[in-house]
Amino acid sequence: MGLATAIPAATRAVTSTVARADLGRASGTFTTMRQLGGAFGVAVVAAAFATTGATTSARAFADGYPAAMAVAAALALAGLAAALLLPGRRVDGT
């Protein structure tokens, strides 16, 4: 489930804050940034794994996990911090 449950909410958050005339650009920019962010995240975590781990043995493979998971956690925390900095919106009538 994970990310698949967050994407519709994130898309709505982006598209509900722009004028109707800018919906296409906002949606396209959001999708592009989401794709680039995913690719960047995988590359950074893989690089962290490669610095301490290898695929030559089970032990070498396991050695790469702590660094990779630490980087993944740091990226997740950075995303959380960015989300908390988003301006809030007040919905009238609810």
Residue 28 tokens read as 């396209």
Torsion of CA 86, 90, 91, 94, to 10 degrees: 130
Look at the pTM and tell me if it is higher than 0.75: no
Token duo for residue 68: 């990779």
List average pLDDT for each run of 10 residues in the chain, which is 94 residues long.
80 86 91 92 94 91 94 93 77 52
Query: CA dist 30 to 26, 52, 78, 82, 91, Å?
Result: 6, 34, 18, 15, 22
**How far is Cα 24 from Cα 65, in angstroms, rounded to an integer?**
40
Distances (CA, A) of 17 to 14, 23, 41, 56, 90: 6, 9, 26, 50, 12
